[in-house]
Amino acid sequence: EPELTVPLLIKKVRASGNIPDDVRMPRSTVYKLLARHGLTRKITSPDRDHRRFAYLNAGDLFMSDVMYGPAVRKNDGRKRKTYLIAFIDDATRVIPYAAPIRKIPLPSWRC
């Protein structure tokens, strides 16, 4: 049944009694098995606009992201969090700025 989701498929197989209850069936494993045999597909609605979100001209939109970096030991032996902040131009994918920082200066990031 192509309209079944992986969780519903697992539930249906369990209800059929073909798989013992003590056998684990992680959703990720079932999905990978279906994908390997070409039994998955994306269901898209023709009523919706499915174009990608993108700007055409350089400098029209910059995106930013902050992620955790490695923990760094200070001189006193304590570990401190670090962060990586980066900006990317949506049209060109150029990264005009990226830097590691020790703390996020929240008051300066308010809009």
Of 105 and 77, the structure prediction assigns the larger pLDDT to: 77
What is the residue extent of each domain of the chain? Answer: 1-46, 62-101
Q: Are 2 and 41 spatial neighbours (Cβ–Cβ below 8 Å)?
A: yes
Pairing of the two strands 83-89 and 79-80: unpaired
Three-class SS state of 111: coil
Describe the crossing of helices 27-36 and 6-16 by its angle, rounded to 10 degrees.
Answer: 100
Strand 62-68 to 83-89 pairing: antiparallel
User: pTM for the complete prediction?
Assistant: 0.46
Q: What angle do CA 85, 91, 92 make, to 5 degrees?
A: 75
Tokens of 108: 């300066």
pLDDT digits (tens, 9 = 90+) for 28-66: 999 999 989 888 877 666 777 766 777 889 999 999 999
The band of 106, judged by pLDDT with boundaries at 50, 70 and 90, is low
> How distant is the alpha carbon of residue 95 from its chain centre?
20
What is the pLDDT of the chain when averaged over all its residues? 85
